[in-house]
Amino acid sequence: MSAGADLFRAAAETLREHSRRIAVAATTLPPEDLWWRPHPDVLAFGNVLAHLEGNVRQWILGGIGGACDHRDRSAEFDRREGEDLVLLAALAGTVEEAACLIEGLPGDEADRPRTIQGFETTTQGAVLHVVEHFAWHAGQAVWIAKARAGAGHGLAFYDDAALDGLTND
């Protein structure tokens, strides 16, 4: 297996993992807070879902996979309504389709030049952009869910007690 193929496989699993974390966070978020914003110039949880789905679709399915791109990026931010289950299902479906596409990329595809959303990059650069972007917004979504659910949110992704005893020695 080549380094490019290894990177692609790891990137696909990372996207899946962050998508799962967002889905878990959504179960903690009070339903009435899907479109909550502390002020108009920040994203609501619902906007994060719509924006990530658009970004993954445009950069991976379109930019690498060749699917038609009809993204309306500003609408992702302007949106103020929609159902959480519909948004989550759209995101999960797009992430899974993108992850399968990424996993199937041959390693020698890594340095192939791409132009996506007006940016000059490579296949590897596009994949890394999407993973980084997704992780950034997944953190926002988790923070929103924790903040809106309150101190007893119970949202955690690691067993801190088990990890505290582990070292890299």
Proportion of the chain above pLDDT 70, given as a percent: 99
Longest dimension (CA), the chain: 50
Helix (H, G, I), strand (E, B) or coil at 80: coil
Report how many domains make up the chain.
1
* pLDDT, tens only, 41-74: 999 999 999 999 999 999 999 999 999 999 999 9
> Residue 121: beta bridge partners?
114
- Tell me what pLDDT residue 80 has: 93
| Sequence letter at residue 154 | G
Question: Which distant-in-sequence residues (6+ apart) come within 8 Å of 111 by Cβ?
Answer: 4, 122, 123, 124
pLDDT of residue 129: 98
Q: Is residue 169 part of a domain?
A: no
Q: What's the pLDDT band for 165 if we cut at 50, 70, 90? A: confident
CATH of the domain at 59: 1.20.120.450
- pLDDT for 7 beyond 90: yes
**pLDDT value at 1 more than 70:** no
Give me the domain span that covers residue 119: 3-164
User: Is 24 inside a domain boundary?
Assistant: yes
The reply to whether 156 falls in a domain is yes
Entry pTM:
0.94
Q: Is the pLDDT at 127 greater than 80, yes or no?
A: yes
Mean pLDDT of 85-98: 97
The 3 state secondary structure assigned to 28-47 is: HCCHHHCCCCCCCCCCCHHH
Cα 55 from Cα 165, distance rounded (Å) = 38
User: Which H or E run includes 7?
Assistant: helix 3-28
